[in-house]
Amino acid sequence: MRHILRIGLVTLLLLLTGLPLAASVLYHADYARSEPAADEVLATPPTQVKVWFTQELFRREGENWLRVTGPDGARVDLDDTAVDDNDRTLLTVTLADDLPDGAYRVEWRALSAEDGHPKESEFGFVVGEASSAPAAAAPAVTSTAAPAVAPTANPVVAETPTSSESGGLPCLSAAPLAMLALGTVLVKRRRG
> Residues 10-17: what's their mean pLDDT?
62
pLDDT digits (tens, 9 = 90+) for 112-161: 998 889 999 999 999 998 655 443 333 333 334 333 333 333 333 333 33
β-strand pairing of 118-127 with 41-42:
parallel
Mark whether 9 and 44 lie in a shared domain.
no
Q: How far apart are CA 157 and CA 85, in angstroms?
A: 27
Mark whether 83 and 6 lie in a shared domain.
no
pTM over 0.85: no
User: What total of structural domains would you count in the chain?
Assistant: 2
CATH of the domain at 111: 2.60.40.1220
Report yes or no: 103 and 131 within 8 Å, Cβ to Cβ: no
User: Is residue 85 exposed (0-12), middle (13-18) or buried (19+ Cβ within 10 Å)?
Assistant: exposed
Mark whether 180 and 101 lie in a shared domain.
no
pLDDT digits (tens, 9 = 90+) for 74-88: 999 999 999 999 999
